[in-house]
Amino acid sequence: MSLSIALAGKGGTGKTTVSGMLIKYLVKSGKTPILAVDADCNANLNEVLGLEVSDTLGNAREEMKKGDVPSGMTKDIFISMKLEQAVIESDGYDLIVMGQPEGSGCYCAANTLLTGFLEKLSGNYPYIVMDNEAGMEHISRLTTSNVDILLTVSDTSRRGLQAAIRINQLAKDLNIGVGKSYLIINQVREEPSDIVLNMIKEENLELAGTIPEDDAVYEFDLNGKPTIDIPNDNKAVQAAFQIFDRIVP
């Protein structure tokens, strides 16, 4: 049975970087193989992991929409083939990218493909890490559902915390089957104030911990270096690992 962990949060909070740290932690802990899913239409988890993307679910969706299915092949077989080609293999984990369809229209078809393919793949991976797009659209479209752990990432800003609170509340309202829900405050310069802690307490959010602001994380990102390669003794990585030690079985 797979343990699924989904990450959500406002844009700019470092959600994807935290996703990479989680994958790094799981690999280091021997909790492999892992299926990493970039469910953000503006995909960049591959950059955090240092992987090249050759194909995406969005591309498969577009080809099916245009009718580019080879003669004699059913759509189901074609989609299955395309999705298998979209899996990027790495050491201890594989990555699949949602991608952004080129044509007009909603993402409903691509989301359906993602959900169906994840169901098929889940039996092969004891851990699934899904990096969702910023905001709450992924929840309202039910692409984040039936997850064991929902990690909402915020920075120290009021807007970031308000977004985290709304995401947590929406997940409850939609009854999407979240097992445990936690808040991680990222890019912290000092411990959360009483005002912040009271906001969290009033909304019945569980604070899993904080990750400090760190120059190495900024420099890796600025120079296009995979942040998964940041050394394990880095203070931000260590703080993230301590959080994961407490919440990931």
CA 143 from chain center: how many Å? Answer: 11
With vertex at residue 211, the alpha carbon angle to CA 12 and CA 130, rounded to the nearest 5 degrees, is: 60
Residue 67 lies inside a defined structural domain of this protein: no
Distance CA 242, CA 45 (A): 22
Mapping DSSP onto H, E and C, the string for 173-217 reads HHCCCCCEEEEEEEEECCCCCHHHHHHHHHCCCCEEEEEECCHHH
Distance CA 138, CA 170 (A): 11
Q: What is the pLDDT of residue 135?
A: 66
Residue 183 lies inside a defined structural domain of this protein: yes
Residue 154, domain CATH: 3.40.50.300
Q: What is the pLDDT of residue 95?
A: 95
Residue 115 lies inside a defined structural domain of this protein: no
Domain of 207 in residue numbering reads as 3-54+89-99+125-247
Per-block mean pLDDT, blocks of 10 residues, the chain (249 long): 89 93 98 92 90 85 75 79 88 88 57 68 88 69 74 91 89 82 94 88 92 95 94 97 97
**Could you report the per-residue pLDDT of 93-118, keeping only the tens digit for each?**
999 888 765 555 555 665 566 567 66
**Number of domains making up the chain:** 1
Residue 76 lies inside a defined structural domain of this protein: no
Question: What is the DSSP secondary structure assignment for residue 233, as one 8-state letter?
Answer: T
Residue 37 lies inside a defined structural domain of this protein: yes
Q: What is the pLDDT of residue 11?
A: 86
Residue 117 lies inside a defined structural domain of this protein: no
Residue 221 lies inside a defined structural domain of this protein: yes
Residue 174 lies inside a defined structural domain of this protein: yes
Q: What is the pLDDT of residue 148?
A: 92
Q: What is the pLDDT of residue 138?
A: 61
H/E segment holding residue 139: helix 137-140
**Could you report the per-residue pLDDT of 14-60, keeping only the tens digit for each?**
999 999 999 999 999 999 999 998 987 778 999 999 999 988 877 87
CA dist list (Å): 83 to 5, 141, 148 = 21, 21, 24
Distance CA 36, CA 20 (A): 9
